[in-house]
Amino acid sequence: MAPEHPHTRRDFLAALGVATVGTATSATTGFARQPPPAAPAQGQDPGLDATAQLLKALSEAAGPSAFEEDVRAIVAAEFRALGAGVEYDGLGSVHATLPGNTTGPRIMVTAHMDEVGLMVQHITPDGYLRVKALGGILGQALPDQRWTVLGRKGPVTAISGLRTTHVLPASQRDIVWPIEDTFLDVGATSRDEVVAMGIRPGDGIAPLSDFLVMPNGRYAGKAWDDRVGLAVMIVAARRLRAEGVRLPGQVIWVATTQEEIGLRGAQTAVDLARPDLGISIEAGVSADYPAIGPTQAQERLGGGPGLFLLDSSMIPNRKLRDFFFDVAAQSGIPLQPNVLTGYGEDGAEIQRYDTGRPAVNMTVPTRYLHGHTGIIQRSDFDGAVELLIQVLTRLDGPRVADIASFAP
């Protein structure tokens, strides 16, 4: 049997089973139809349904920006198990098209594979790692954490050192230490030992945090930004295949790279997808916990999926925005508006493609983004899957042409 918590890439991929994490989705709400239960594959938790198994595997996979190999393997295996054609662009984004999906407007549905992380910058003579950030990690999230260093001989667990209170002057005990003062400890006593572990400058580093089922249908884990979006795409595709739904458009399911360091994967992915319309799926910014409020964000766990009306990278196409709210109302799915700044997402690159395309960003509300552990709620996830399916079944040629038109 595969280990319960695999610590090498080979062990991790073996734990996925022969090809895929799961083949069908089930739901805890009325949003989705309930398929027959499936026996868990090797390495899976029999207490989780297929959707939760997928969320666990995606969350626990290590994939900082430009080091998305393990996440890419899951996504590609999932879509191949559905009979999809899979190809890759020059930065490693995954493009999948389900069988029979060859006519009508081209709809790009996208989520990104990478998570915020670190990179090895320097190995000290006494065996510590100095690092640089990959993406927007807060200084408060750096010390006293466990990390996975993606070395050439396999993953290595590291600990970010914490200066003990016993020796710190009182004036320094509440300081947020900058990344320049952060160091990772892999248990080595010298630079040579670190090198022998297969670690070298330029290696990626991901947070290490196990998936956890919490009360009230909530899941804790790392990298919900944006593994939750990937899971929405995959579960929607599973349902479309299982239920034999024929869509009026050509849907290109795209899992992008390097979103956290400047939407880089989306810039190349959109050229290969050539969309007429784009739907980005992201982790939303939940504002239902202390120290954050409605002037910063508006989503809440349990309130359904969200739709961004403004972020730092994009104002969505207003007709497409209204279409989402109309479909949600018709389908009985609560949809939360969110207006915020300080957030960029792949929909912006779809919007700027060629002469411009309608684009929107749908979200699953998430607490504690860009930390080691975030929290989502299953009912919000299931609502996002159902809304995506309902939208895709209505995006025919005339509808897309109307949404894209600015004629008075």
Return the closest-CA partner of residue 159 out of 137, 196, 187, 181. Answer: 187
Q: Which two tokens stand for residue 13?
A: 């991929």
Q: What does the DSSP assignment read for 233-271?
A: HHHHHHHHHHTTPPPSSEEEEEEES-GGGTSHHHHHHHH
The backbone region for 332, taken as left when phi is positive above 0, alpha when psi lies in -120 to 50, beta otherwise, is left
Return the closest-CA partner of residue 374 out of 223, 215, 208. Answer: 223
Q: Which two tokens stand for residue 152?
A: 């050439």
Tokens 């590609």 belong to which residue?
A: 76
Catalytic residue among 60, 68, 259, 299: 259
Separation CA 77–CA 65 (nearest Å): 20
Separation CA 217–CA 377 (nearest Å): 6
Bond preceding residue 226 cis, omega within 30 of 0? yes
Distances in whole angstroms, Cα of residue 29 to Cα of each of 52, 113, 219, 231, 402: 14, 27, 15, 17, 33
List strand residue ranges (DSSP E) for 44-182, in order. Answer: 85-88, 94-97, 106-112, 117-123, 128-134, 146-151, 154-160
CB 374 within 8 A of CB 219: no
Separation CA 275–CA 252 (nearest Å): 8
Known catalytic residue at 259: yes
Separation CA 188–CA 219 (nearest Å): 34
Q: Which two tokens stand for residue 45?
A: 């938790």
**Other beta carbons less than 10 A from residue 291's beta carbon:** 6
- Which residues are the active-site residues? 259
